[in-house]
């Protein structure tokens, strides 16, 4: 199955995942270090927020930092979604069949979750 060979399917821990799939990459891998750097920065923001609450800082200042952290997380999410659509979704669409339908549904559900958050 093409999807499994492109590395765009989820590894659910089952025994049927072959070594070809494990050797392949997800769409975001080319920017993995960038994503990790951004997530580490967000982690630091979360620690900063905890510290602000512990130090009983002004609520508007805390809310401003919550907003900044939320925007940073949304930026990461949108980047990952874009990578998924341009890599995994495009490959699935090219292959066609039920796997393509699954990927489109999966992407639609991810978009819906992002819109609701």
pLDDT of residue 29: 87
What is the residue range of 76's domain? Answer: 2-9+31-116
Tokens 């512990």 — which residue? Answer: 54
Is 26 domain-assigned?
no
pLDDT (tens digit, 9 = 90+) per residue, 82-92? 999 998 889 88
Is 19 domain-assigned?
no
Q: What is the mean pLDDT of residues 64-69?
A: 97
pTM: 0.74
Task: Measure the CA–CA gap between 58 and 78, rounded to whole angstroms.
Answer: 31
Helix axes 97-116, 59-84, angle to 10 degrees: 170
The CATH number of the domain holding residue 97 is 1.20.58.1000
Q: What is the mean pLDDT of residues 4-20?
A: 49
Is 16 domain-assigned?
no
Q: Closest Cα partner for 27 from 11, 3, 7?
A: 7
Q: What is the dihedral of CA 97, 102, 107, 109, to 10 degrees?
A: 150
Separation of CA 52 from chain center: 28
* pLDDT over 90, % of the chain: 53
pLDDT of residue 41: 97
Number of domains composing the chain: 1
Tokens 């997530």 — which residue? Answer: 39
Whether residue 16 has pLDDT greater than 50: no
Whether residue 24 has pLDDT greater than 90: no
Task: Measure the CA–CA gap between 93 and 106, rounded to whole angstroms.
Answer: 13
Is 105 domain-assigned?
yes
pLDDT of residue 71: 96
Is 40 domain-assigned?
yes
DSSP 16: T
Whether residue 20 has pLDDT greater than 50: no
């Amino acid at each position: 199955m093409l999807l499994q060979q492109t590395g765009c399917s989820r590894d659910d821990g089952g025994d049927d995942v072959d070594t070809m799939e494990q050797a392949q990459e997800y769409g975001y891998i080319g920017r993995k270090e960038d994503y990790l750097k951004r997530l580490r920065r967000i982690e630091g923001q979360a620690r900063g927020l905890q510290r602000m609450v512990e130090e009983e800082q002004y609520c508007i200042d805390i809310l401003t930092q919550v907003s900044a952290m939320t925007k940073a997380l949304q930026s990461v999410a949108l980047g990952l979604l874009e990578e998924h659509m341009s890599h995994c979704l495009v490959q699935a669409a090219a292959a066609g069949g039920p796997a393509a339908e699954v990927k489109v549904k999966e992407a639609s559900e991810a978009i819906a979750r992002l819109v609701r958050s």
